[in-house]
Homo-oligomer: A and B are copies of this chain.
Amino acid sequence: MIRVLVWNEGWHEQRDAVVQEIYPGGIHGAIAEGLTELLGDEVTVSTATLADPEHGLSEAVLAETDVLLWWGHMAHDDVADEVVERVHRHVLGGMGLLVLHSAHFSKIFITLMGTTCSLAWRNAQDREIVWTIDPTHPIAEGVEQPFVIEQQEMYGEFFDVPPPEELVFASWFSGGEIFRSGMTYRRGQGKVFYFSPGDQEYPVYFHPQIRKVIANAVRWAARDTKRQQPEVRNSPRTLA
């Protein structure tokens, strides 16, 4: 049983009628629904938002979370540093993390990457075509090659992140850009997946292929180990 927590800042859903119409249950709600639909008894899915006490990310909650999904856009700066530090510690200790779309600029992703995480963007109803680059990867299992998102915000290269451990997906945009849209990273004991499709103004999280990718990624990121951040050790000479 994988314990999943879908976190969303929830800013747009409170302010923007267009987004409210697309995501009446919130972006987190749509993502949680997709996970329950595809993974059923394999998972328990909870949600949390910025407005919750401690943003819904207390030590106790994180200790009971196998995989955390993170969506944010307008309120990155409102996430408390203390909470970011806590999430960081849990990721390095073995909690899986899925970083979605505009969360490329979240504090937790920037902290994990060590780079600016900047990119090119354009909100102009671009067509996005997502290609599988690594067909052996569990996150690509059963995903159509390629699949199309009729309308999407464009994210383009150069994306300033470290070269990924695995490039699983890359995207074509009608305006001439490409983007490494699905990438894995390993940090400490934890597995991290960045997946770019998913703007608030398009119903991307209802797309069956997107839901498939996210469900696969949850399975991939979950680890069945004691949560423990790597630590410095003064080793006695006992082996040789």
A residues adjacent to B (C-beta < 8 A): 92, 94, 105, 111-116, 118-122, 124, 127, 129, 131-136, 141, 145-146, 148, 154, 156-158, 160, 162-163, 165-167, 170-178, 180, 185-191, 223-225, 229-240
Contact = CB atoms under 8 A, between A and B. Distances in A.
A122 B175 CA distance: 20
A114 B119 CA distance: 19
Q: Majority SS of interface residues in chain A?
A: loop
A240 B174 contact: yes
B148 A239 contact: yes
B188 A129 contact: no
A80 to B, nearest CB: 18
A173 B236 CA distance: 13
Contact of A119 (B177, B224, B232): B232
B113 A114 contact: yes
A173 B120 CA distance: 18
A237 B157 contact: no
Contact of A186 (B162, B224, B234): B162
| A-B pairs with lowest CB-CB distance, top 4 | A176-B239, A176-B240, A160-B230, A118-B232
A121 B235 CA distance: 6
Oligomeric state, in copies? 4
A131 B157 contact: yes
27 contacts: A111-B114, A112-B114, A114-B114, A114-B187, A115-B187, A116-B231, A119-B233, A121-B233, A129-B178, A129-B239, A132-B157, A133-B158, A133-B180, A135-B158, A136-B190, A136-B191, A141-B225, A146-B239, A154-B235, A158-B230, A162-B162, A162-B165, A165-B166, A171-B178, A172-B176, A172-B177, A175-B240
Nearest to A186: B136
A59 B142 CA distance: 25
A236 B148 CA distance: 16
Contact of A122 (B111, B132, B188, B237): B237
A134 to B, nearest CB: 7
A92 B120 contact: no
Interface centre among A116, A145, A231 (most CB of B within 10 A): A116
A162 B141 contact: no
Nearest to A113: B114
